[in-house]
Structure 1
Amino acid sequence: MNGTKEKVAEPAPEGASLQLDRFIPYRLSVLTNTVSMVIASAYEREFGLSIPQWRVMAVLAQSPELSAIEVAERTAMDKVAVSRALQGLIDSKRVLRAFDKGDRRRSILRLSAAGQAVYTRVAPMALRYEAELLSALSPNDQRILDDLLTRLMDQAKSMQASRDV
């Protein structure tokens, strides 16, 4: 990979303390929450959408006709958060739920026309926020960040799979 030798993480030395402001999982979480709150303030004010509702809508816009379990998997949100978000979106008629003809226990979700209209207005706002955030990085840094995030996601999935076995 990029001509560098893969390195295996070494265990923390005995007595090492966790420095939260340098701990990557914490920093990624704080960054995600901060960015999400900045973007969310705009779509929450204008459309009454919560962060989980927007994530569900974005996933359904990309992959129509998913089950709630598939939405939870794609968003990495817990099932309760997805269920609450979906209930609000169904109540507001932004998401339609039908039942699978082969398995009545499985619901099929898709954006309604109203939901698609909201998505069409929120998506450009989200892209503008992303562009503003990324403007702190050069184009090369943006490519490196994308590569690093992909590699970290692949590693996290690998770690998760090995623990699920």
Structure 2
Amino acid sequence: MTGKRGWRSVSMAEEAFVPGYLLYLLTASSQAASGQFHSFVKSQGLRVPEWRILACLRDADGQMITELSRNALFEQSHLTKTVNQMEARRLVTRKTDSHDLRRVRIWLTSRGRKLADQLVTEAREHEAKLLGSMSTSDAQRIKPALRSLLDLLSEADVDIDIA
């Protein structure tokens, strides 16, 4: 017998590992939910990392590459190339930091801000539909639980020894 995700049942004495593994559940949920929205992002002529960059700059415009890389969950060496491409499409612009001329900050252009605003509106609608399809109690708990996990894992003194 197989379930929704295609896993065959195991005997009552043995519990299947993968379908109950936290990291699998996080990844599978993210991929399923993101896949729906990312199709919309691609229909707008953007790649997913570009969407994340626009959203991050919309939240806090004028970030440096290092900060933007961390916030957009994007490798810094690849981010620079992507920002170059986005700058060529007039979605972002680089400006020297007025307090430290050695630093360069990335800013949304008016075109980039308009697109970011549209995408954030769509993302919020998608999120509301997704949460609306869950039970009220699950919908109310999921984001706080994920924030708590992220905060725990982000703390500098947390080291989960796996060896």
Instruction: Decide: shared fold, TM above 0.5.
Output: yes
- Aligned pairs, number: 145
Q: Which amino acid aligns with 2:17?
A: Q
Tell me if 1:148 matches 2:145.
yes
Q: Could you tell me which runs of 5 or more consecutive residues in structure 2 were left unpaired when the two chains were aligned.
A: 1-15
Q: Which of 67, 70, 76 is residue 70 of structure 1 equivalent to? A: 67
Give 1:105 deviation, angstroms: 4.0
Does the Cα contact within 8 Å between 2:58 and 2:117 map onto a contact in 1?
Answer: no
Q: Normalising by structure 2, report the TM-score.
A: 0.78
Give 1:25 deviation, angstroms: 1.6
Deviations along 1:60-118, one digit per CA (max 9) or x if unpaired, are: 00101110111112223221342233222112110011122454442101110000111
Tell me if 1:92 matches 2:92.
no
Does the Cα contact within 8 Å between 1:56 and 1:85 map onto a contact in 2?
Answer: no
Q: Distance in 1 between matches of 2:152 and 2:130?
A: 25
Q: Distance in 2 between matches of 1:131 and 1:35?
A: 12
Q: Could you tell me which runs of 5 or more consecutive residues in structure 1 were left unpaired when the two chains were aligned.
A: 1-17
Other-structure match for 1:41: 39
Q: Normalising by structure 1, report the TM-score.
A: 0.77
Give 1:37 deviation, angstroms: 2.2
Tell me how large the CA RMSD over aligned residues is. Answer: 2.2
Q: Distance in 2 between matches of 1:33 and 1:85?
A: 22
Does the Cα contact within 8 Å between 2:91 and 2:108 map onto a contact in 1?
Answer: yes
Identical counterparts, % of pairs = 21
